[in-house]
Amino acid sequence: MTIEEGHEILLYVNEKKSWIVTAEQGKKFHTHKGIVDLGEIVGKPYGTEVRTTLGLSMKAIPVDYLDHLERVSRRTQIIYPKDIAIITLLANVRPGSRVVECGTGSGSLTSYLAMHAQPDGIVFTYEMREEFQRVARRNLEKMGVIEKVVMKLRDINEGIDEKDVDAVVLDMATPWQVVGLAKDALKMGGRLVSFSPTINQVEKTVEEMRGKGFLAVKTLELLMRTYKVKVNETRPDMIMVGHTGYIVSGRKG
Amino acid sequence: MTIEEGHEILLYVNEKKSWIVTAEQGKKFHTHKGIVDLGEIVGKPYGTEVRTTLGLSMKAIPVDYLDHLERVSRRTQIIYPKDIAIITLLANVRPGSRVVECGTGSGSLTSYLAMHAQPDGIVFTYEMREEFQRVARRNLEKMGVIEKVVMKLRDINEGIDEKDVDAVVLDMATPWQVVGLAKDALKMGGRLVSFSPTINQVEKTVEEMRGKGFLAVKTLELLMRTYKVKVNETRPDMIMVGHTGYIVSGRKG
Amino acid sequence: MTIEEGHEILLYVNEKKSWIVTAEQGKKFHTHKGIVDLGEIVGKPYGTEVRTTLGLSMKAIPVDYLDHLERVSRRTQIIYPKDIAIITLLANVRPGSRVVECGTGSGSLTSYLAMHAQPDGIVFTYEMREEFQRVARRNLEKMGVIEKVVMKLRDINEGIDEKDVDAVVLDMATPWQVVGLAKDALKMGGRLVSFSPTINQVEKTVEEMRGKGFLAVKTLELLMRTYKVKVNETRPDMIMVGHTGYIVSGRKG
Amino acid sequence: MTIEEGHEILLYVNEKKSWIVTAEQGKKFHTHKGIVDLGEIVGKPYGTEVRTTLGLSMKAIPVDYLDHLERVSRRTQIIYPKDIAIITLLANVRPGSRVVECGTGSGSLTSYLAMHAQPDGIVFTYEMREEFQRVARRNLEKMGVIEKVVMKLRDINEGIDEKDVDAVVLDMATPWQVVGLAKDALKMGGRLVSFSPTINQVEKTVEEMRGKGFLAVKTLELLMRTYKVKVNETRPDMIMVGHTGYIVSGRKG
């Protein structure tokens, strides 16, 4: 595979440092350790070594969806990949799924849902704050899934337009207020999944889901532990994200 | 939606008890608390209440892929949904992905990869033990993804036939022995993800991946905590699965 | 050291199986794999190997306090050694401390507090249920700390008799009701530590402690992970105690 | 209780900010928000409110051992209170215990062992690095336990002078090398406890302990989760110490 004009490239230095750039004649990229000529990499094979003017060595490899997702998640710190992955599983989202999401936030969860619902599924995502929607739209475009997303600038409490959807995914401050609407929107047996940082939100949401007849209501959280692996020095990392949020799931019955 | 002859139905009693049955004239289903006439539910709407001869009440709801996945995972206890979800994310598997997997095991991870790679992607899965392959094939058929899976009864150490695949996923005793072959099979920038229960497997695999030039080599594990949620009695469950396995991921560079 | 008549002995088979017995002429001990003559071990050195009539091999070693504590904790499963240890630290209990405890329960926490408050400190322990107090008394006698404990059969809500105590330790269903009484009983700067299984108990207790002017109010919990360590097979144990309780601590100010 | 000249006082602002000072005529204490006259607090009751020249309010409460321990632990970050507490329990250290420790480090673990071994027990602590011993000595003096500690400036690999000790506690880079010496120093049934950050140290130590006939060899680690408790906003803290070290314990048999 050859790097062509206009390609997005990942310039990889090490586990902590890498950048997404575009290969383009006449453009330069400035790092803390010298400059890269982005025109010179056009025509080279992927995997090629690139050096800055100050000798910093990096690899030029293809950018994929995950590169974008990691960057969006890191920037907003709202929802982590570990949570995105399990929410998608618990919502049973897969090619063809019709999904309602609220709120859109930065669009990172939206993008993953849309990526996995394509090519014939779709995500309807509600967001009240225009600024967030604007940022999310840009992220979804960059990640190549905007065509599989319908963005709605509206308070979901005013109603969900869609019917017979496969899943409803909530990442909002007051999920319990939406449980009834979610039930109306879901097909029989469809999945409701809600992500919340506090235990009090969980209590209210679970209570409401039980009251509204949801089945198989479960609450869990995932703790991610990362490791420093090196012969004779292997150990978990000292600093850990101790909490992101609780995940409640259930099923319309 | 109406239950039709031949439909798979979930008979749901509570969070701990539910069964997958087939609606069929003339068939009975025996529970610990009486018998259900599976013919009588034909023609009823989904969500209908069903009662056994001894009065046990249950809901009849549609079966989906996740119902099957949970059952397969629970039975074999080899790989848990939390791990399946994050492995799929880290391998960047999505519609269209071409994935190599080893070993097939019970087919639960295979099914999730295939479900998310469809409609135009595919999973090539290697397994040495005929008995396992046979069980996995049955599971994949039941889950409706068998057409998106190529099953190979072979030791992956003898070689990987596929080239330029998007991802290689390993869930085997000696993943480090396959790192070189995986690199050859992967496209530039492609993802290798390996799941192992012991820290010693992790050390060998990470060492080998670094030696073979993989980029962004990371190790993590997920701990899942489940909760009993009830007003004024909310607490984590006392018994927890304390360990399933470590996940190593990296990228061909 | 020689085993003498009347000594308590630990007969140790392996990590999972060991018994506390008393060396005594004419007595036999029955195991699932044969009989041990407890008279024959009198006069032998500690560390000696003992064999049952069916050939099961065990070591005869001295019994210490920890052997008793582990047995009591395992039997009642109310409070685990990890929690006992941190509660004692957070309550700043050490030789000379005067401590109020409620409730006594099985006496395992009581015994640890008393063991560490001796020789000149003391534990005043409140318990409403006579049956529990009776069991606890027997345990405290067995562990050799009964003389450092004053057992009170009374509802602590009716009042704490002691004044100027160094610490108050609560392991009861409604700790928040006792916060005011605890404050009156504590010396300035003294420590209040409360152990509760549910998050709702924690919320009420923390709220009450803040309202009553306690300083440095903190909440934590400890998760204990045990490991199977074996060359090339090292891993955390699969089954784990996922939750015992939350610990709230603060200081009279 | 009245604050007297020369008393150590804790000036407490909030959970994150407090200082240990000495009440003394003619001395001032400078904070980021104004000055406190340390002479003016002499003669006031403990618990009194103190204000800086800029109006910052604080409480003056008695300093206890735990205040010192927390400060030493925070500064060196070598061993945390949660680990100190469980090590002391697993080593069965209590009034009267004779304990060997290596290395001394900053003295925080030493101080806790000595505090709990007093009045008639003692801690023999080995340290090779003079600088560390000097710092530790100062800490032990400040914490009031120096008389219960014998400090040895020596490589423990050259031999342990003590015999028939109740416990050996290791917090050093190569604990496995000392297992044999520890066995010789311990009384029959005595406890060996070792703290190590890497899993490789654990493997070697466990292997050696089994080889030398130690009984009940166990490995564990404690994860501490702290909580932000507030009505309707209760949740675990986001940043967590993900790893401190593994603890191996066993018993001479």
Q: Give the integer Cα–Cα distance in Å for A52 and A49.
A: 10
| Binary contact (A92, B15; C-beta < 8 A) | no
Which residues of chain B lie closer than 8 angstroms to C244, CB-CB? 238
In this prediction, residue A78 carries a pLDDT of 74
> What's the DSSP call for residue D197?
S
Rounded to a whole number, what is the distance in angstroms from the first to the last CA of chain A?
Answer: 50
Contacts of B210 (CB under 8 A, 6+ apart): B217
**DSSP code string of D9-71:** EEEEEETTEEEEEE--TT-EEEETTEEEETTTTTTSBTT-EEE-TT--EEEEEE--HHHHHHH
CB D82 within 8 Å of CB D224: yes
| Binary contact (A240, D244; C-beta < 8 A) | no
Among residues A157, A216, D187, B82, which one has the least CA distance to residue C62?
D187
Q: Give the integer Cα–Cα distance in Å for B241 and C223.
A: 13
| Binary contact (B94, A118; C-beta < 8 A) | yes
CA distance A13 to chain B (A): 9
Residue range(s) of every CATH 3.10.330.20 domain in chain B: 8-62
| Binary contact (B232, C199; C-beta < 8 A) | no
Q: Are strands D186-196 and D165-170 parallel, antiparallel or unpaired?
A: parallel
In this prediction, residue A65 carries a pLDDT of 96
Residue B74 in this model has a pLDDT that exceeds 70:
no
Residue range(s) of every CATH 3.40.50.150 domain in chain A: 66-251
In this prediction, residue D37 carries a pLDDT of 96
- Can you list the positions of beta strands (E) in chain B? 8-14, 17-22, 28-31, 34-37, 49-51, 57-62, 98-102, 122-127, 149-153, 165-170, 186-196, 215-228, 235-236, 239-241, 246-251
The angle subtended at Cα B104 by Cα B99 and Cα B109, nearest 5°, is 65
pLDDT digits (tens, 9 = 90+) for B112-157: 999 999 999 999 999 999 999 999 999 999 999 999 999 999 999 9
Which residues of chain C lie closer than 8 angstroms to B241, CB-CB? 238-240
What residue has token string 């230095």? A13
Residue A73 in this model has a pLDDT that exceeds 90:
no
CB B167 within 8 Å of CB B188: no
Among residues C144, C146, C151, C143, which one has the least CA distance to residue C124?
C151
CB B187 within 8 Å of CB B252: yes
CA distance D193 to chain A (A): 19
| Binary contact (D189, C225; C-beta < 8 A) | no
Residues in chain A: 253
Low-confidence ranges of chain D (pLDDT < 50): none
| Binary contact (A243, D233; C-beta < 8 A) | no
User: What values do phi and psi take at A245, rounded to 5?
Assistant: -170, 165
Which residues of chain D lie closer than 8 angstroms to A238, CB-CB? 241-244
Q: CATH says B8-62 is which class?
A: alpha beta
Interface-testing mutation among B176, B232, B235, B239, with chain C (most C C-beta atoms within 10 A): B235
Contacts of C193 (CB under 8 A, 6+ apart): C87, C90, C91, C167, C168, C169, C170, C247, C248, C249
CA distance D133 to chain C (A): 24
Q: What is the ipTM of this complex?
A: 0.96
Q: Are strands C98-102 and C165-170 parallel, antiparallel or unpaired?
A: parallel
Mean pLDDT, rounded, of chain B: 96
Q: Give the integer Cα–Cα distance in Å for D202 and D195.
A: 8
| Binary contact (B200, C234; C-beta < 8 A) | yes
> Where does chain A have alpha helices with state H?
65-76, 81-90, 108-117, 130-142, 179-185, 199-211
Of D198, D234, D238, the CB nearest to A199: D234
Task: Give the pair of three-digit tokens for residue C75.
Answer: 């039997």
Of A232, A236, A239, the CB nearest to D239: A239
Q: Give the integer Cα–Cα distance in Å for A200 and A176.
A: 11
Which residues of chain A lie closer than 8 angstroms to B248, CB-CB? 229
Among residues A136, A243, A143, which one has the least CA distance to residue A196?
A243
CB B179 within 8 Å of CB B156: no
> What's the DSSP call for residue D2?
B
Q: Which is higher by pLDDT, C233 or A75?
A: C233
Residue B77 in this model has a pLDDT that exceeds 60:
no
- Minimum Cα–Cα distance from B232: chain C residue: C200
Which residues of chain A lie closer than 8 angstroms to D235, CB-CB? 197-199, 243
**Can you name the residues that pair with A167 across neighbouring β-strands?**
A99, A191
Q: What's the whole-model pTM score?
A: 0.96
> What's the DSSP call for residue B104?
-
Q: Note down pLDDT in tens along chain C; length 253 residues.
A: 899 999 999 999 999 999 999 999 999 999 999 999 999 999 999 999 999 999 999 999 999 999 999 988 766 657 899 999 999 999 999 999 999 999 999 999 999 999 999 999 999 999 999 999 999 999 999 999 999 999 999 999 999 999 999 999 999 999 999 999 999 999 999 999 999 999 999 999 999 999 999 999 999 999 999 999 998 899 999 999 999 999 999 999 9
Helix (H) or strand (E) segment spanning residue B207: helix B199-211
- C-beta atoms surrounding B57 within 10 Å: 11
CATH number 3.40.50.150 is the correct assignment for the domain at C66-251: yes
The angle subtended at Cα C143 by Cα C137 and Cα C149, nearest 5°, is 50
Which residues of chain A lie closer than 8 angstroms to B95, CB-CB? 95, 115-116, 118-119
CA distance D177 to chain A (A): 15
Residue B103, preceding peptide bond in cis (omega within 30° of 0): yes
| Binary contact (B47, A202; C-beta < 8 A) | no
Which residues of chain A lie closer than 8 angstroms to D238, CB-CB? 241-244
Of C200, C236, C240, the CB nearest to B232: C200
- Minimum Cα–Cα distance from D58: chain C residue: C253
Q: Give the integer Cα–Cα distance in Å for B253 and C6.
A: 71
Q: Which residues of C touch B (CB under 8 A)?
A: 197-200, 225-226, 231-244
| Binary contact (B15, A217; C-beta < 8 A) | yes
Q: Give the integer Cα–Cα distance in Å for C45 and D165.
A: 17
- C-beta atoms surrounding B101 within 10 Å: 29
Which residues of chain D lie closer than 8 angstroms to C227, CB-CB? 202, 219-221, 246
From the number of C-beta atoms within 10 Å of its C-beta (0-12, 13-18, 19+), residue B16 rates as exposed
The angle subtended at Cα D122 by Cα D117 and Cα D127, nearest 5°, is 115
In this prediction, residue B78 carries a pLDDT of 74
| Binary contact (C197, B225; C-beta < 8 A) | no
In this prediction, residue C74 carries a pLDDT of 67
CA distance A113 to chain B (A): 10
Which residues of chain C lie closer than 8 angstroms to B225, CB-CB? 242-243
- What does each C-alpha distance from D132 to B123, D72, D101, D104, D124 come to in angstroms? 58, 13, 14, 7, 15
| Binary contact (C237, B242; C-beta < 8 A) | yes
